[in-house]
Amino acid sequence: MIPRYSRPQAAAIWTQENKYRIWFEIEALACEGMAEAGLIPREAAAVIREKGGAKLAVINAADVERIDEIERETRHDVIAFLTWLAASVGPESRFVHQGLTSSDVLDTCLAVQLTQAADLLLADIDEVLAALKKRALEHKYTLTIGRSHGIHAEPTSFGLKLAGHYAEFARNRERLVAARAEIATCAISGAVGTFAHVDPRVEAYVASKLGLAVEPVSTQVIPRDRHAAFFAALGVIACGIERLATEVRHLQRSEVREAEEFFHAGQKGSSAMPHKRNPVLSENLCGLARLVRAAVVPAMENVALWHERDISHSSVERGIGPDATVTLDFALSRLAGMMDKLTIYPERMRENMDSLGGVVHSGEVLLALTKAGILREDAYKIVQRNAMATWTKLGQPDTCGFRANLLADEEVAGRVSEAQIDAAMASEMHLEQVDVIFKRVFG
């Protein structure tokens, strides 16, 4: 997580100040839950909330440094925080953390932070979806060439391309909603998760107030399969970002030039070559997607802890929690802006589609020949022969287009009319079912 690829709202989730506010909230709610159950005096819970809340409301860098100073002596972060808090709360601090273990605070806090991050990421995905829908509808009937293996295949709609990415991000949104629900889990169960020193009612109270579910079996830590699923969902979202960014990069290549990132006034593409207009945003997004996916395997390796718990997962999560969520937030925001301002060139799309002399219509011509009574194997040979004759002479003085070669072929003449060939080579036919697909995607 570096400032260059961080937005303030996402970075704020992972500040020490926010973490300590959440820690206090968990501790204060646990005290209030104990007071509700008659386990500690209500007056004590009220003092903890009042004095501790006032202190955390104005926590600053000096306070963070003081907690760090205490930790350097205690070698324990939660104890350091509790010691610092006790100085402000006074005698009632003896009820803070009663029956709890550190993981109750740490794991529940991480759940809160990840749900905060998930809410921000869901809003980001909504912005991506809005941009994709707008551009897809704008270019619903814009003809372009579809490519397989990087080679011209058959005509398609540029709006249909974008609709496919919209559908993917809609699925990604559903994945993130599910991942958020799974990670939004509270554990206040004490040492090895047996509730020997804390009443289960306290856990239920804290969970309810924080908007979390109760972990059925915490074993002192929340099982890390939940976290693995969360980071895996982020990784899949990152794959969707890279797939769309890669498409833009290909479309912006000089030889293609069908679309390009918006080029701002005063923007420079190269320090050495003033003519350059590079796809820097989409290239950047591909790199950021790799960073997000880099968190997936470590999160999965965190699942297998020793017995009821160890802390081998802790150092990993301190890194991947901020890095993956903040980076993905930045990437999604950048993607939404890039697609909203993407410059699209329909005329160039048409030029590219027509650049191979019509061979991109070979599939429909094949069907026209079979409908005329020619065996499919024979029809395939006829069409391929004429397509190759067109392809290999592109740009040469004696070039003939695919249509001319077909009509001059002895096995075609007299069996398939010019009108049938022209109908088979009509690009607009590939738009006939676009409405059906758009209805599936957008409703």
Nearest-10 crossing angle of helices 362-371, 376-391: 150
Alpha helices in 140-279 (DSSP H): 158-183, 200-210, 225-252
| Of 134, 142, 82, 72, nearest in space to 106 by CA | 82
DSSP characters over 245-304: HHHHHHHHSTTT-SEE----TT--S-SS-TT----HHHHHHHHHHHHHHTTHHHHHHTS-
H or E element in which residue 186 lies:
strand 185-186
Give the tokens for residue 366.
Answer: 């094949």
Got the DSSP string for 308-326? T--SHHHHHHHHHHHHHHH
Phi, psi of 214 (to 5 degrees): -90, 135
Residue 5 in tokens = 């690829």
Q: List the one residue out of 377, 349, 378, 371 whose CA is nearest residue 424.
A: 371
Amino acid 126 reads D
CA–CA separation, 251 vs 271, rounded Å? 23
Catalytic positions, please?
149, 270
| Residue entry with tokens 């040469």 | 396
- Burial of 291 per CB tally in 10 Å (0-12, 13-18, 19+): middle
What is the rounded end-to-end Cα distance, in angstroms, of the chain? 38
